Amino acid sequence: MSTTEITATPGQPLVTITREFDAPRELLFRAYTDPELLVQWLGPRRLEMTVERHEARDGGTYRYIHRGEDGVAHAFRGVFHGTPTPERGIVQTFEYEGAPGQVSLETAVFEERDGRTTVRVSSVFQSVAARDAHVESGMEVGVRDSMDRLAELLATLAAVR
C-alpha cells in the first residue's frame, strides 16, 4: 500500500498532501467530484458524512457535514474556482465552520503514469498561525484515514469496471 505524505514546512503557510494510487486519473477525479463517492472516503472512518451540496463547477459551492456517534456535527464549506477537470485538477476554498473566516485555498492535481495516479493537494493558509492551528487540530489522522479509505474505494470501483 502506498503511504500518504503530509508536509508542513515550518514558517510557511502551506500544507502539501501526496499519495499514489493504483488507479487511473479519471477514476480519482470522479471520486473527488461525485458526491456519492465522496461520502464513502472523505473524513475519518469514525464519522459519517452528509453532502448538503457539491457543485463541482466554476463558482459552484460545496458544504458537507461530518457527524460522530455523539451527534456532534463538523461542517465544511467552500467555492470552486475554475472548472475542475482531470487534467487541470481542482481549485477550491476550504473553511471549517467551527473556525469562521479561516479560509484556505486548496489545489488538487492528478498525475497519471502507467495506470497509477499521484494526487497532490496543496493548501495555502492566510498565515502560518492559521496553518499551525489546522495541523494541530488533528487533521493528520483525518487525512491519513481518508486516503486509506480512498484507496479501498478505488480498488472496489476498479473491480467493478
Q: Domains plus CATH for the chain?
A: 5-160 (3.30.530.20)
Mean pLDDT, all residues of the chain: 95
pLDDT tens by residue, 63-79 = 999 999 999 999 999 99
Query: Residue 109 — φ and ψ, nearest 5°?
Result: -120, 150
Task: State mean pLDDT over 131-155.
Answer: 93
Q: Quick one: what percent of the chain has pLDDT higher than 70? A: 99
The Cα 113–Cα 146 span in angstroms is 22
Task: State mean pLDDT over 145-155.
Answer: 96
Cα 101 to Cα 63, 65, 118, 125, 133, distances in angstroms: 15, 18, 31, 11, 13
pLDDT band at 1 (very low <50, low <70, confident <90, very high): low
The one-character DSSP state at 82 is S
Identify the pLDDT of residue 137. 87
pLDDT band at 2 (very low <50, low <70, confident <90, very high): confident
Identify the pLDDT of residue 161. 62
Statement: residue 144 has pLDDT above 90: yes
Grid cell locating 115: 495506470
Torsion of CA 97, 98, 99, 101, to 10 degrees: 30
Grid cell locating 74: 463538523
pLDDT band at 159 (very low <50, low <70, confident <90, very high): confident
Contact 140, 160 (CB under 8 A): no
Identify the pLDDT of residue 158. 81
